[in-house]
Structure 1
């Protein structure tokens, strides 16, 4: 699977890479530090990712702003977006689902719990039928 990770925290990026490696998965992870960079990547003509893992709290453009722009694009609106965040704010959760996300995962503090959650998320998307662009 090709995964686009939109995350501005280097520790979180390394944590995801470590988890994928530790689980023995061969997913390709592309990183974007913010929503603007992610939109450039998605519109560059390169093959689209199978899923997007999106942090909500980022500089320049929030995750919710990014989602709103993405869902207005006739091609990109079908990409499954899974929120991967520390935000337990119910307003964020409801707004993300209103815009059209595929899932909302709260990052646990303990690495073992993070790895467990991520393995389940990735296992689900490995067997899910995806819209190919």
Structure 2
């Protein structure tokens, strides 16, 4: 069992419909990790940069971040860039989960440090399978780094 089994999964997703579909896929495949949601990039950065200090936020960083690109306010690219610049956060795997299959978006995200890029399928069954494979890889097959202590 991976050490990430109790760490939360942070989903940064503004669409309630997409978040609901992800939640169904997580439940179907018995994801044991708690799932947290930030509805925009600003909220995600507030949580990730201030974890452990802000009232009401969990004291543990997420095992992985599932990040939408097209968010209101601070978009996913800016969130990704901020995470990969911060020494306390840069080892957290960031999986871009976007409707965009544009080659430029994909290349830009990898250049900014994304660990994976998944396009959101239109059909629910395809979404469910993509999420199953991604969660199996990142939470069961991969060895993830230990959390760095708050300085």
SS across alignment from 2:97: strand
* Structure 2 gap segments, 5+ residues each: 53-58
1:75-114 aligned at under 5 Å gives the runs 75-114=88-127
- Give distance in 2, aligned partners of 1:78 and 1:113: 28
- Give distance in 2, aligned partners of 1:131 and 1:24: 23
SS across alignment from 2:22: helix
The Cα offsets for residues 54-112 of structure 1, whole Å up to 9 and x where unpaired, read as 00000001111111111111101111000011001111100100111110000110000
* Structure 1 gap segments, 5+ residues each: none
Higher alpha-carbon Rg: 2
SS across alignment from 1:15: helix
Tell me which of 31, 40, 44 is aligned to 2:46: 40
TM-score where L is the length of structure 2: 0.85
TM-score where L is the length of structure 1: 0.96
For residue 8 of structure 1, what is the aligned residue in structure 2? 14
Question: What is the aligned-residue RMSD (CA, Å)?
Answer: 0.9
Which 4+ residue blocks in structure 1 deviate beyond 6 angstroms? none
Count of aligned residue pairs for this structure pair: 133
